[in-house]
């Protein structure tokens, strides 16, 4: 939709590898959208036709969710808690924070264990 022809090979490869569902993107539709974007770069109607645009009122735009605080779930859906992680997600490549478990395996917080022993 933005007319970035240099990204077309990446999109085609993603479609071929099945990383983009077939119902969402096909080669011929992608090429037509790209050609339209190149021919009419300033035409905002292209985005309106695809139901894309600015959100004026975020609360109103998200009203379709109808989250029920009393029930703790969405009104029209069964809430599936299986996807909820049981432990916090941690980035193994970051430095250990002072309130994190100590990497030595003692079970203590880092600040109460090895933080003082840093060289």
Distance CA 91, CA 22 (A): 33
Q: Provide CB contacts within 8 A for 108, sequence distance 6+.
A: 101, 102
Mapping DSSP to helix (H, G, I), strand (E, B) and coil, where does residue 68 land?
strand
State in Å, rounded, how far the first CA of the chain is from the last one: 54
Q: Give the pLDDT of the chain (119 residues) as one tens digit per residue.
A: 778 888 888 988 988 888 887 777 777 888 888 888 888 888 888 888 777 777 788 888 777 666 555 555 555 555 555 566 677 776 654 677 878 888 788 888 888 888 777 65
Q: Are 46 and 37 in contact (CB under 8 A)?
A: yes
- Whether the model pTM is above 0.75: no
CB atoms within 10 A of CB 68: 12
């Amino acid at each position: 939709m933005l007319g970035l022809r240099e990204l077309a090979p990446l999109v085609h490869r993603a479609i071929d590898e099945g990383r983009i569902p077939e119902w969402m993107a096909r080669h011929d539709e992608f090429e037509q959208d790209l050609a339209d974007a190149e021919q009419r770069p300033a035409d905002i109607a292209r985005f309106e036709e695809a139901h894309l645009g600015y959100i004026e009122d975020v609360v109103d735009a998200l009203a379709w969710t109808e989250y029920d605080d009393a029930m703790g779930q969405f009104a029209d859906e069964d809430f599936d808690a299986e996807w909820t992680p049981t432990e916090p997600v941690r980035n193994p490549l970051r430095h250990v924070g002072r309130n994190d478990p100590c990497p030595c395996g003692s079970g203590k917080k880092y600040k109460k264990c090895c933080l003082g022993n840093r060289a």
